[in-house]
Amino acid sequence: MKRSEPPPIAAWMLEHCTAGDFDEALAGDLCESYSSGLSDGWYWRQVFAACAVSWSESLRARMPLFVFALIWSMMAPAWKVFTDGIESAPIFDRILPYFGPVWIFPAAAGWLLLNSIFLWTGICVFILFSSNFRETIRGKVLRRPFLLASLIFLPIYGATFLGVNLYWYSFFPNAGFATTPLGQIADLRMLADVIRMPYFIALLCALWGAIPRSIRRTQLRLVDSPPTESSTEFDVLKFVSTLDSYTVKRCFGLMVSAGLINAMIAGILLCRLVELHSPTFAPLFIRAILYVIIGLLAGVVGSWLYWKNPSSLFRKHLPIPFPLFALVCASGWIWVAPMTIFSEQLSPVSAFVAVIGAIFLAVGLRNATFSVLAPAAPEAPIYESEQAELFSQSLYRAPGESHGYVITFLLYAGFCALAIRLNLAAAALFALCAFLFVWRQTFLPTHSIDRNHEYRRAALRLAYVAIPAVLVTAWALLDGVAHRNRVAAMNAAASAGSRSSTSDGAHQKAKSDSSAYGLGGYESLILWPVPEKKQIVPPLPEISLLAPGTTQPLIIPFNGQYWYMQPPNKNPGPTAHLAHGTPLGAEIASINSMPLVMDAHQTLGAAIPIARCREIQIEIENRDNRKGAIALAALLTDTASHKGTSLYLGRQPIVSTEPEHFSFKSGSVFETLHFLVPASAKMRKFDEITVMMLPDVEHALVGPKIAIKQFQLFPR
């Protein structure tokens, strides 16, 4: 089926991609020819041709400007040498220090003024010697090039030199200007051309808009022709009366829909729940007001965008003023925010809220468009029994009420959607149903209403509706927080159940109160080695590393904690879930989009002097079958110092996880990673070793199945 309006993108191009002002008459001619049955392809060809012709005409009209800008910018290198001489004058070295740290601002202003003088002189010369230009520009038009030239010069200059330095940097260190002014003007080498470029562009841009393509646009006047009737003011209602009712309704419908869709997008993207676990009413109320305003503004913007699109029939002449239209529709759009919040909680209340919004929208719109659209009040059957014989007129034919079937169907479909928990679809169906019903049943005024009165009514309606809308939004937010807490508690309970064999029951209550549940219901997790394998290591025989002549390494089997956290947390916190297990067997994953951080912490029985330790070897057991490289980083910490000083030993890749060495593992792979310990001046001893897993993106959301077996500390 062929559309009645031309392709919107082509229409947009015609308006925005042609040089100079938008030619309304040309657009109208194309639209008229298109609606007479020509194809989309024809329209596109005409648009391309119009763009090409307009640009060629525009360039032809500005050919003198091109030539002048080129000639004037030839003098730019000479001017540059001249201004460099001024800028390097000793007086500036004495003045600028008075400005202190903000010396850059007066320096930049001075530099810009010097360059602007060159451009302004050029503009004056062009105006003096261009007779056409002088005749057509006056006052404000004349000031514009001067202002524009100064404003755009700095960004153009910056962009030119940024680009040139990026691509031709090697050329400039040895480049220089000619010594005489004439030589500088005639210099066609690269540096001189680069200097000319920003002046040339700035002059073109400054004078481009000031030159009218032709003088006719300013001389056009509105007439009521072709039969030379008297010129009259454009009558919108007269224009609308020439359109069929369907077209007018469709345009209004699309404007309202565009507003609704925009409000819904804004609602889904911006209307989030409060982060607090148990928020107070004040921030909730403020947030509710904000969300209602967001819905309203987004609706207005959506409608405005559709109204202003190039193929819009009412673009120039909306039958009712847009502010009134927006005010009327706002009483419907303000319900979009609570509706989206409820729908995100899978609550059937979203349908109820949508129905309320639809009712207010229909009532307001029906009254506001009364003067434009034909009244659609139910037609009462006319009985002519007085004039006719008895029973002769009793079998009258009832008027067709097709909308009744539509409303019934929407009701059934809405309930079906509600039954299968498609709440958003149900909301849309019920809202449409309510809108249709109210549209048909609204009592319309019998006489035309004053426009000011319409504004007052719409504003009053919006004021009355806004208060309950804010309260309902606050209710939606409260309900949302409660819903989120319920879900979190259920997740926590499910996770606790699955780990009941290894979990520590004492911490169950604490973790369920947390507000962040990224790790299967926990905000963080500490994994201890399984109790039966736990070895109690006596305090380190410090003397073994200190004893002179010792060459044997000190072996420390790992018996510390594994920490699982999510950024920005750096430690598990007091509410962390404690469990016994090993990373080789535990399935630990993030249930949200936040990455998982895994550390292994080994506390030593006594502090070891850094000066006595040359190297630390970390033996690991890898049972991870997920592709993706993982590296280990080691950190030595002196927890006894009041600042908790740390020494980073660097990172080492786990070879068995690298793509070229990766293979599916049926058993464990053991590896030893070497970390050299530098003699640190800021830290003399350490009593904790931290091993950090540094996974790639494949392991970002899961804990790698890699366990630390032991540390070997080699004496220096």
Q: Give the sheet arrangement for strand 561-565, strand by strand.
A: 577-580, 525-528, 561-565, 597-609, 685-695, 630-638, 645-653
Question: Of the two residues 26 and 270, which places its CB atom closer to other proteins in the complex?
Answer: 26
Secondary structure (3-state) at 594:
coil
- Asked whether the beta carbons of 222 and 231 are under 8 A apart, the reply is yes
The piece of 210-218, 320-328, 648-656, 657-665 that touches other proteins (CB under 8 A) is 210-218
**Both tokens assigned to 158:** 């910056």
Using omega within 30 degrees of 0 as the cis cutoff, is the peptide bond preceding 568 cis?
A: yes
Q: How far is the CB of 305 from other proteins (least distance, A)?
A: 17
Q: Is 221 in the site for other proteins (CB under 8 A)?
A: yes
**Ordered DSSP codes for 561-619:** EEEEE-TT-SS--TT-EEEE--TTT---B-SSSS--EEEEEEEEEEEEEGGGEEEEEEE
How far is residue 103 from each of residues 92, 107, 633, measured CA to CA in Å?
11, 6, 46
Q: Residue 131, interface with other proteins (CB under 8 A)?
A: no
> Are residues 528 and 539 in contact, defined by beta-carbon separation less than 8 angstroms?
no
Sheet holding 554-557, edge to edge: 554-557, 706-715, 613-622, 669-676
Establish if 226 lies at the interface with other proteins (CB under 8 A): yes
Residue whose pair of structure tokens reads 């499910």 in the numeric block: 494
51 binds other proteins (CB under 8 A): yes
Q: Does 307 participate in binding other proteins (rule CB under 8 A)?
A: no
In the numeric block, which tokens belong to residue 308? 């202003």
Is 314 a binding residue for other proteins by CB under 8 A? The answer is yes
Q: Is 526 helix (H, G, I), strand (E, B) or coil?
A: strand
Separation CA 77–CA 180 (nearest Å): 11
Among 10, 31, 284, 708, binds other proteins (CB under 8 A): 31
Residue 29 touches other proteins, criterion: CB under 8 A: yes
Dihedral angle at the C-alpha atoms of 448, 449, 452, 455, nearest 10 degrees?
-110
24 binds other proteins, rule: CB under 8 A: yes
User: Distance (Å, rounded) from C-alpha 58 to C-alpha 55?
Assistant: 5
* Cα-based distances in Å from 255 to 365, 432, 577, 594: 12, 15, 53, 39
Spatial CB neighbours of 472, under 8 Å, sequence gap ≥ 6 = 335, 338, 353
* 685-695 and 630-638 strand pairing: antiparallel
Quick one: which segment of 17-25, 176-184, 383-391, 618-626 binds other proteins (CB under 8 A)?
17-25
Residues 163-182 that bind other proteins (CB under 8 A): none
| Interaction between residue 63 and other proteins (CB under 8 A) | no
Q: Considering beta carbons, is residue 216 or 643 the nearer one to other proteins?
A: 216
Nearest CB to other proteins, comparing residues 218 and 501: 218
Q: Minimum CB separation from other proteins for residue 316, in Å?
A: 5
Tell me how many residues contact other proteins (CB under 8 A): 47
Query: In angstroms, what is the minimal distance from the CB of 39 to other proteins?
Result: 12
Q: Which stretch binds other proteins (CB under 8 A): 49-57, 150-158, 256-264, 634-642?
A: 49-57
Residue 542 sits in the site that holds other proteins (CB under 8 A): no
Rounded Cα–Cα distance for residues 182 and 520 (Å): 78
Pick the closer one to other proteins by CB: 2 or 453.
Answer: 2
Region near other proteins per CB under 8 A, out of 222-230, 401-409, 586-594, 696-704: 222-230
At its nearest, how many Å lie between other proteins and the CB of residue 20? 10
Given candidates 70, 108, 186, 223, which one binds other proteins under the rule CB under 8 A? 223
Q: Is 214 in the site for other proteins (CB under 8 A)?
A: yes
Q: Which stretch binds other proteins (CB under 8 A): 208-216, 327-335, 676-684, 704-712?
A: 208-216
Euclidean distance between CA atoms 113 and 194, whole angstroms: 20
Show the CA angle centred on residue 674, arms to residues 671 and 676, nearest 5°.
Answer: 170
**Region from 73-81, 88-96, 226-234, 413-421 binding other proteins, contact rule CB under 8 A:** 226-234
Tell me the backbone φ, ψ of residue 677, rounded to 5 degrees: -105, 115
Query: Residue 438 is encoded by which pair of tokens?
Result: 């109210």
- Taking alpha carbons only, the member of 507, 522, 689 closest to residue 596 is 522
Span near other proteins by CB under 8 A; candidates 48-56, 508-516, 573-581, 618-626: 48-56
Q: Is 320 helix (H, G, I), strand (E, B) or coil?
A: coil
Phi, psi of 235 (to 5 degrees): -95, 110
Give min distance, CB of 244 to other proteins, in A. Answer: 9
Residue range at the interface with other proteins (CB under 8 A); choices 211-219, 396-404, 469-477, 627-635: 211-219
Q: Tell me which of 23, 479, 619, 698 binds other proteins, using CB under 8 A.
A: 23
Q: Other CB atoms closer than 10 Å to residue 539's CB: what's the count?
A: 8
The two most distant CA atoms of the chain are separated, in Å, by 133
Smallest separation (angstroms) from other proteins to the CB of 106: 48
Does residue number 45 form part of the binding site for other proteins (CB under 8 A)? yes
Q: Which is closer to other proteins, CB of 26 or CB of 540?
A: 26
* 25 sits near other proteins (criterion: CB under 8 A): yes
Q: Which of residues 7, 17, 44, 57 is near other proteins by CB under 8 A?
A: 57
* Closer by beta carbon to other proteins, 200 or else 307: 307
Nearer to other proteins, 31 or 431 (CB): 31
What is the C-alpha R_g of the chain? 39
Q: How far apart are the first and last CA of the chain?
A: 86
| The two structure tokens encoding residue 651 | 């990172």
Q: Which is nearer to other proteins, 24 or 40 (CB)?
A: 24
From 50-58, 368-376, 423-431, 443-451, span contacting other proteins (CB under 8 A): 50-58
Q: How far is the CB of 29 from other proteins (least distance, A)?
A: 3
- Give the other-Cβ count within 10 Å of 421's Cβ: 10
Using alpha carbons, select from 23, 7, 6 the residue that is nearest to residue 15.
Answer: 23
Rounded to a whole number of angstroms, the minimum distance from the CB of residue 310 to other proteins is: 9
What is the smallest separation between the CB atom of 19 and other proteins, expressed in angstroms? 11
* One residue of 316, 451, 486, 674 binding other proteins per CB under 8 A: 316
Shorter beta-carbon distance to other proteins: residue 307 or 522: 307
Q: Nearer to other proteins by C-beta: 62 or 366?
A: 62
- Distance, in Å, from the CA atom of 275 to the CA atom of 514, rounded to the nearest integer, reads 12
Task: Report the nearest approach of other proteins to the CB of residue 131 (Å).
Answer: 13
Is 220 a binding residue for other proteins by CB under 8 A? The answer is yes
614 is a site residue for other proteins (CB under 8 A): no
- Over the window 240 to 279, marking each residue x when it contacts other proteins by CB under 8 A and - when it does not, the resulting string is --xx---x--------------------------------
Q: Does 222 bind other proteins (CB under 8 A)?
A: yes
The letter for the amino acid at 55 is W
* Orientation of helix 336-344 relative to helix 423-441, angle to 10°: 150
Contact partners, residue 377, CB within 8 Å, separation at least 6: 443, 444
Q: Is 28 among the residues that bind other proteins (CB under 8 A)? A: yes
When binding is defined by CB under 8 A, the residue of 303, 311, 367, 512 that contacts other proteins is 311
Which of 249, 315, 457, 626 is in the footprint of other proteins by CB under 8 A? Answer: 315
Q: What residues make contact with other proteins under the rule CB under 8 A?
A: 5-6, 23-33, 35, 45-46, 49-54, 57, 213-216, 220-228, 234, 239, 242-243, 247, 311, 313-317
